[in-house]
Structure 1
Amino acid sequence: MSMSSDRFAFSANSGDDLLVIMLESTKIHTPSQMSRVFDIAKDTVLFLLLSCYYILESLFWTLMPNAIRPMKNLKGDVVVVTGAGGGVGRHLSIKLARLGAKVVAWDINKEALQKTCTTLTDEGYEVASYIVDLADRASVYNTAEKVKKEVGKVDMLINNAGTVFGETLLELSDAAIETTYKVNILSHYWTVKAFLPDMIKSGKGHIVTVGSVAGLLGTYRCTDYSATKFATVGFHESLFTELRAHGHNTIYATLVCPYYINTGMFDGVSPRLMPMLEPDYVAETMIDSIRKNEVNCVMPGSVRYLLPLKCLLPAKMCWDLMHRVMKGPQSMMDLKKKPNLA
Structure 2
Amino acid sequence: MEARSPPPTPNQSKDGGVIGELLQTLRLFFSAIFVGIWRFFVPPPKKSVFGEVVLITGAGSGIGRQLAREFARLGSVLVLWDINKTSNTETAKLLQEEFQAKCFCYTVDVGDKSQIQSAAARVKTEVGEVNILINNAGVVSGKKLLDTPDVLVQRTFDVNLLAHFWTVKCFLPSMLKNNHGHIVNIASSTGLVGLNKLTDYSASKFGVVGFTEVLNYEIIFSGYKGVHTTLVCSSYVKTGMFAGCKMRYPWLLPALEVKNMTNRIMQGILTNQYVICIPRLVYFLAYLKVVLPVDAFLEVVKFFGAASFMDTYVGKETNSLIHQNGSS
Give the aligned residue type for 2:19: A
In the other structure, the counterpart of 2:295 is 316
Shift of 1:39: 2.1
| TM-score relative to the length of structure 1 | 0.86
Give the aligned residue type for 1:160: N
State the distance in 2 between where 1:139 and 1:223 align.
27
Cα pair distance change 1:311/1:37, threshold 3 Å: farther
Shift of 1:52: 2.1
State the distance in 2 between where 1:280 and 1:265 align.
16
Give the aligned residue type for 2:296: M
Q: Which has the larger radius of gyration?
A: 1
Number of residue pairs aligned between Structure 1 and Structure 2: 304
Task: Judge which range, 265-274 or 206-215, deviates more.
Answer: 265-274
Shift of 1:111: 1.5
Q: Is the 8 A contact 1:256 1:298 kept in 2?
A: yes
SS of structure 2 residue aligned to 1:265: helix
In the other structure, the counterpart of 1:59 is 37
| TM-score relative to the length of structure 2 | 0.89
Give the aligned residue type for 1:63: F
Shift of 1:338: 2.1
Shift of 1:99: 0.5
Q: Is the 8 A contact 1:162 1:184 kept in 2?
A: yes
| Residue from 265, 277, 282 that aligns with 1:298 | 277
State the distance in 2 between where 1:129 and 1:36 align.
50
Shift of 1:37: 12
Please state if 1:248 is matched with 2:224: yes
Q: Is the 8 A contact 1:144 1:194 kept in 2?
A: yes
Give the aligned residue type for 1:309: L
Shift of 1:268: 1.1
- Please list the CA deviations of residues 105-126 of structure 1 after superposition, one character each: whole Å capped at 9, or x if unmatched: 0000112112201101112111
In the other structure, the counterpart of 1:12 is none
In the other structure, the counterpart of 2:325 is none
Please state if 1:109 is matched with 2:84: yes
Q: Is the 8 A contact 2:185 2:230 kept in 1?
A: yes
In the other structure, the counterpart of 2:235 is 259
In the other structure, the counterpart of 2:47 is 72
Shift of 1:44: 1.6
- Please list the CA deviations of residues 20-49 of structure 1 after superposition, one character each: whole Å capped at 9, or x if unmatched: xxxxxxxxxxxxxxx999622222211222
In the other structure, the counterpart of 1:19 is none
- Please list the CA deviations of residues 269-323 of structure 1 after superposition, one character each: whole Å capped at 9, or x if unmatched: 1112311111111111111101101111111112202212112212111112211
Give the aligned residue type for 1:42: G
In the other structure, the counterpart of 1:234 is 210
Give the aligned residue type for 1:298: C
State the distance in 1 between where 2:299 and 2:48 align.
46
Cα pair distance change 1:77/1:37, threshold 3 Å: closer
SS of structure 2 residue aligned to 1:85: coil
Please state if 1:307 is matched with 2:286: yes
State the distance in 1 between where 2:87 and 2:173 align.
30
Give the aligned residue type for 1:59: I
Shift of 1:339: 2.2
SS of structure 1 residue aligned to 2:138: coil
State the distance in 2 between where 1:137 and 1:104 align.
18
State the distance in 2 between where 1:298 and 1:90 align.
20
Shift of 1:240: 0.6
State the distance in 2 between where 1:186 and 1:335 align.
25
SS of structure 2 residue aligned to 1:158: strand
Q: Is the 8 A contact 1:214 1:230 kept in 2?
A: yes
SS of structure 1 residue aligned to 2:286: coil
Shift of 1:151: 0.4
Please state if 1:139 is matched with 2:139: no
Report which structure shows greater RCO (CA 8 Å, sep ≥6). 2
| Residue from 82, 96, 99 that aligns with 2:71 | 96
In the other structure, the counterpart of 2:199 is 223
Give 1:1-342 correspondences, 5 Å limit: 39-64=17-42, 69-123=44-98, 124-271=100-247, 272=249, 273-323=252-302, 325-340=303-318
Give the aligned residue type for 1:297: I
- Please list the CA deviations of residues 160-193 of structure 1 after superposition, one character each: whole Å capped at 9, or x if unmatched: 1000011111111010000000000111111001
Q: Is the 8 A contact 1:259 1:277 kept in 2?
A: yes
Percentage of matched positions with identical amino acids: 37
State the distance in 2 between where 1:79 and 1:339 align.
31
- Please list the CA deviations of residues 222-256 of structure 1 after superposition, one character each: whole Å capped at 9, or x if unmatched: 11100000000110011011111111121101111
In the other structure, the counterpart of 1:11 is none
Give the aligned residue type for 1:334: T
State the distance in 2 between where 1:113 and 1:125 align.
14
State the distance in 2 between where 1:37 and 1:71 align.
38
State the distance in 2 between where 1:311 and 1:60 align.
25
